[in-house]
A and B are shown apart, each in its own frame.
Chain A
Amino acid sequence: MDSVEISRFLTGMTLAVHIIFATIGVGMPLMFAIAEFLGIKNKDPKYIALAKRWSRGYTITVAVGVVTGTIIGLQLSLIWPTFMKMGGHVIALPLFMETFAFFFEAIFLSIYLYTWDRFKNKWIHFIISIPVIIGGSFSAFFITAVNSFMNTPAGFEMKNGKMVNVQPFEAMFNPSFLVRAFHVIATAGMTMAFVLASIAAFKLLKNKYSKDTEYHKKALKMTMIVGFLSTLLSMLAGDLSAKFLHQVQPEKLAAYEWHFESGSKADLVFFGVLNEKTQEITGAIKIPGMLSFLADNNVNTKVEGLNDFPKDTLPPMIVHYFFDLMVSMGVLCFIISGAFILTMLIKKLRKYTTHKGLLYAVLLTGPASMLAIEFGWFLTEMGRQPWIIRGYMRVSQAATQAGGITLVTILFGLLYFVLLVTSAYVLLRMFKNKPAQEDVDKVIGKGGHE
């Protein structure tokens, strides 16, 4: 590998690790706030214990999220110094605002975690969760703005290879910002809900402490409802993204679907194998006209094909698989959570709500949605290749020239390995052999609620 490829690998590795914890970081505050809300409103100590236990586990993931986030923030300059020189001052505003949002979140999260017993009025503690949610979501918004800028640069003029006449707000609210931010937030909510649902399903299947059954059932129902709703939003956001790509980044959409020849009634291609030389696709499921429909709600819409773009500006064809995998995972979660919701709504089916088969299916949703997040980011990042700032700077021009990149990559690889293994170990030990009923009793001991 040359230094450009190593730089790409290192950045990809950092982001792949960070995105797990970042997604938890955005989704989790919402989940424990809802649980606490239900707990206070219904005077139900089980929900309060739920919120407490979730937030306790969250302290571990948030720590790793903070450090990997710090790493990626600095790596932007360390690994891609030429990029930061060219674009750093254009994306400075959202980057700066992101740290403010993060700061805000960090302060109130600290307060939230350490003031469970401090306030007489229990709603005050709940209210503290709101700035945490706002901080988390806004930091996701702003950092997505930075990434959107790299996809759809705006708000500057090019003079002698320099970005001048910068319009900060135009750069921040670049064309793809809103649709991407929507997708990021919705899928974070969805993923976190399903991860927690998986845990509840796992505990119910194992049934180690029979006293905990009620507790886990409550968790399961709540997370499945939130999961289903945010899956609907995520699918809407995904659909908007496809339409947006059709308008603004057609080469990306075409690469997702191996769409070579421009034309109307374009097929949606599902999996399959591509022969890049002959542009033949074998073994794929094709849905005629669906890509056109996806792009513009009309099967007759003309979708631009890959052959219409210069060869050296095309992304790698592997993105197709990431697209298919992401969509399949999303659809899987939709079906399972939809089925679960049906059993809750229809009286006759209610006995199946905690049926073993359904619980096993729910168990899949957590890993599936987390994988969908990873596939989605691989898809969008690789789909931007070969550009680091689309149309302005190639990845190969931006990578660092400094020696030592291989050493640094190995060191970071080791670090991530240790962090992932240890955080999983700590989290497992935190909740293993710790029946939830103990925590519920503690809450009751303090007067039923706090």
Chain B
Amino acid sequence: MDYTSIGITVLWTFLFLYIIVALIDFGAGFFTLHSKLTGEEKKINHLVERYLNPVWEVTNVFFVFFFVGFVGFFPASALYLGTVLLVPGSIALILISVRGSFYAFEHYGQDTKLPWIFLYGLTGLLIPASLATVLTISEGGYITEHGSHLDLDWLQLLLSPYAWAVVFLAIVSVLYISSGFLTYYASKAKDKVAYHFMRQWFMFWGPPMIIISLFVFLSLRIQNSDHFYNAVTNYWWMFAISFVFFLIAGVLNLMKKYHGLAFIMVILQMGFAFYGYGLSKLPYLLYPYIKLSDSSVNDSMGLALVIVFVLGLLLLIPSLILLLRLFVFDKEYVEGKK
């Protein structure tokens, strides 16, 4: 494998990991807000807090990691993407900042304040939407080029059914994945109230997510037909597998059994869809301006990055396992006895 393929595989994986942990985090914020507003905060807040307090900071790093790695492996794309994403990227950054800091202010501060829960609960839904816009833009059709001057065609973007479908999919996925994880966490904590609450949400958001996914597919055909046909002819099986995992997760939840397994099914379902989308998108990073091969990194730097990456993982994986063992897999901690 050459460095570009290694690079994109690694980065796509990190983006996927970020999506999973971040969506759990974002959704948890929304559920906290929701239960606060409906006066049912006692149901889930303690549970959410016990999980989130120790891990939220780590979540953020996955994102920085992806971004820095992307610029490192594909420096040529920095010019295009950096220019085009100035405004949408900055808005996403501001949302992420508001959420991160107000989360800390709310949870570690002296007393809780509703406006602060509002800020981090709502930004949690807007961040995936604004980040998903980046994926939308990369499908092409929203950039105008005059000589060396690049501009984002905002009107085109705001009127595009594809863009909106992706935004809705992002929001629904937040609620789906997050409630899926929290159902598992609650069942592990033997917290009946929170468990029923989260399970309801999970069952509720499954079907709309599949419907919106279909709509995203159909509108992709209009937006970028190359990508669409590549996806349905070469990679249809990945999406089919994804759907099977979705069904298994749903059935396990209906049976109220094996919630750990059910959440693994959810991850696999997301994983197959995500990699299927990514693979069918290649060879373009930004359609039709940047191909994967155009922006490859210099060989010696590619090698250095890969080496550092492997060494870094050797350091990170045990640390992450330690973190999970202390806060997710530690029975007494999860049950609130520590």
Count A interface residues, CB 8 Å: 75
Tell which of A60, A82, A100 touches B315, judged by Cβ atoms closer than 8 Å: A100
* A106 and B305 form a contact (CB under 8 A): no
A103-B82 contact given A115-B326, A426-B105, CB 8 Å threshold: no
A56 contacts chain B at the CB level, 8 A cutoff: yes
* B301 and A422 form a contact (CB under 8 A): no
- The contact string, 1 if C-beta is below 8 Å from chain A, for chain B 66-94, is 01110111011011111111110111011
Residues from chain B with Cβ under 8 Å of A66 in the complex:
57, 60, 100
Q: Which residue of B lies closest to A432 (CB)?
A: B110
* B83 and A401 form a contact (CB under 8 A): yes
* A402 and B150 form a contact (CB under 8 A): yes
A411-B75 contact given A63-B100, A70-B63, A99-B64, CB 8 Å threshold: no
B158 contacts chain A at the CB level, 8 A cutoff: no
* A60 and B89 form a contact (CB under 8 A): no
* B110 and A403 form a contact (CB under 8 A): no
- The contact string, 1 if C-beta is below 8 Å from chain B, for chain A 113-156, is 11101100000000000010000000000000000000000000
A67 contacts chain B at the CB level, 8 A cutoff: yes
The smallest C-beta distance from A388 to any residue of chain B, in angstroms, reads: 14
Indicate the member of A60, A114, A411 with the most B CB atoms within 10 Å: A114
* B101 and A67 form a contact (CB under 8 A): yes
* A96 and B69 form a contact (CB under 8 A): yes
Query: In whole angstroms, what is the CA distance A167 to B303 when docked?
Result: 11
Q: Which stretch in A71-79, A221-229, A235-243 binds the other chain? A: A71-79
Residues from chain A with Cβ under 8 Å of B214 in the complex:
none
Residues from chain A with Cβ under 8 Å of B109 in the complex:
60, 426, 429-430
Q: Which residue of A lies closest to B304 (CB)?
A: A168
Residues from chain A with Cβ under 8 Å of B148 in the complex:
401
A100-B316 contact given A77-B81, A115-B326, A405-B86, CB 8 Å threshold: yes
Can you pick out 26 interface pairs between chain A and chain B where the beta carbons lie within 8 Å of each other? A62-B104, A63-B104, A70-B64, A71-B93, A77-B82, A81-B81, A84-B71, A84-B78, A85-B75, A85-B76, A85-B78, A92-B72, A96-B72, A99-B65, A106-B61, A110-B327, A111-B54, A118-B326, A118-B338, A167-B300, A169-B304, A401-B149, A402-B151, A402-B152, A408-B86, A411-B91
B-side residues, CB < 8 A to A, are 53-55, 57-58, 60-61, 63-65, 67-69, 71-73, 75-76, 78-87, 89-91, 93-94, 96-98, 100-105, 108-111, 148-152, 297-298, 300-301, 304-305, 308-309, 312, 315-316, 319-320, 322-323, 326-327, 338
A-side residues, CB < 8 A to B, are 56, 59-60, 62-64, 66-71, 73-82, 84-86, 88-90, 92-93, 95-100, 102-104, 106-111, 113-115, 117-118, 131, 164-169, 400-405, 407-408, 411-412, 415, 418-419, 422-423, 426, 429-430
